[in-house]
Amino acid sequence: MPRKTPFRTKSVENHAASPVSHKRRTFLGAGATLLLSVLTPLPVQAARIVAVRVWPAEDYTRVTLENDSNLKVSHFLVKDPERLVVDIDGIELNPTLKELVAKIQPNDPYIKQVRVGQNRPNVVRLVFDLKEAINPQVFTLEPVAGYQHRLVFDLYPVNPPDPIAALIAKSQTKEGVPDGKPLPLETKPEAKPAETKTAKTEPAEPAPQLTRMITIALDPGHGGEDPGAIGRGGSREKDVVLAIAKRLKAKIEEQPNMRAMMTRDADFFVPLHVRVQKARKVQSDLFVSIHADAWVEPTARGASVFTLSEKGASSTAARWLANKENAADLIGGVNIKTHDKQLASVLLDLSTTAQINDSLKLGKAVLREIGGINRLHKANVEQAGFAVLKAPDIPSILIETAFISNPEEEAKLTDENYQEQMANAILTGIRKYFAKNPPLAKNRMT
């Protein structure tokens, strides 16, 4: 029986004599190092704030922290004085986050100032000193479009402004325009826009007598975190459509029998269903959503008017556009936990054939006038499933004023003269719609 060789843990002679043993030890040593690295937890890299933005508005103030990973956050309110305290885990204070202090403006409706500090290791504390009691909504958004992860604070007032009271106050400032008195729709002659191939000459309609004030909801698309389409020259859809809507509002309020409500009057985000809610709260007679189109090719051009469809889109392009506009909530940032899904589903289901028929009449009247100042992309009113047009009881249209993706039309959209012409054309179309379709009496609070 052969004698067993004892196992040697260290042997200089054996090491020198056996290259194989040396390689084996080297391999085993590397394996042990690899195993140790697997079993030893790697240090957690702190999240990094890459941008801070503040969007103050009368409706609410939004504060957005954009970061490179999802954040864990807790918050609570403190009274006397009013404060919102927010603790963010997993981050260190960096220069970008410190910029938040300077972004709070003196005219912010709800925030006096914000204090930012390292509360403890890996925890940053934000303290918002408030001007009044607020209901905060704090939520996160997944990466979308050009944004990384976003942490959002929406500060809503406990006592929000009453939109109907605001409209009544504005109406009462008009001299000699008490509600309920008959007023002629056509109060002064207007220059007729130049005829185009799509325009039709029609006999003048007799001016109807209106027995109440007409309320028109103007809806400038996008806003806040959602810039909308961006032209090659850097123009943003949210800016040009707000400018057009403000001009149109001023012209509407020059009419003794009309007043306007804007779903947004500044650069802030309004969810699609909230735009519809706002119009219904003031019992609007019409809803006019204003946009600037975009396409993958810069050659696309022309203005368009859209209404809702019960049976699907009237064209592939209309369906594509509706899907793009309906994605505004994802980009602008909706708090899914508080989104009123039941109300949204009701609005989706209750749109009536009568509402769509009235919307088509309004759309045709406006399209004809727009054709007098700009080439039309399509000669007819198109239809698709735009979420913002789904108020069941308000004739609603969506106007694409021009293609911001077309350099020539981008220049028009930023030109004050074109904005003025577009506002005039829309108003003329609205007036001609009412000349043929006088508004019915409503049980109004005004």
170 and 310 assigned to the same domain:
yes
Region 27-50: mean pLDDT is 57
| Residue where a domain terminates, one of 157, 191, 222 | 157
Centroid of chain to Cα 344: 16
- Number of structural domains (the chain) is 2
151 and 207 assigned to the same domain:
no
175 and 153 assigned to the same domain:
no
270 and 369 assigned to the same domain:
yes
Three-class SS of 216-282: EEEEECCECCECCCECCCCCEHHHHHHHHHHHHHHHHHHCCCEEEEECCCCCCCCCHHHHHHHHHHC
Quick one: which of 324, 329, 322, 323 has its CA closest to 142?
329
pLDDT at 173 exceeding the cut of 70: no
pTM, entire model: 0.79
What digits encode the pLDDT tens for the residues 74-131? 999 999 999 999 999 999 999 999 999 999 999 999 999 999 999 999 999 999 999 9
* Cα–Cα distance, 409 to 418 (Å, whole number): 10
* Cα–Cα distance, 61 to 256 (Å, whole number): 34
Q: Is residue 37 part of a domain?
A: no
pLDDT at 357 exceeding the cut of 50: yes
What is the CB neighbour count within 10 angstroms for residue 65? 26
Q: H helices of 18-68, where?
A: 19-39
Residue for token pair 């509706």: 322
Q: What is the span of the domain harbouring residue 253?
A: 163-436
Q: Is residue 9 part of a domain?
A: no
Q: Treating both helix axes as pointing N-terminal to C-terminal, what angle do 341-349 and 272-281 enclose, rounded to 10 degrees?
A: 70
326 and 400 assigned to the same domain:
yes
Q: Is residue 40 part of a domain?
A: no
* Cα–Cα distance, 435 to 187 (Å, whole number): 12
pLDDT band for position 199 (cuts 50, 70, 90) = very low
Residue for token pair 């004698």: 3
pLDDT at 148 exceeding the cut of 50: yes
pLDDT band for position 8 (cuts 50, 70, 90) = very low
pLDDT band for position 200 (cuts 50, 70, 90) = very low
pLDDT higher for 244 or 188?
Answer: 244
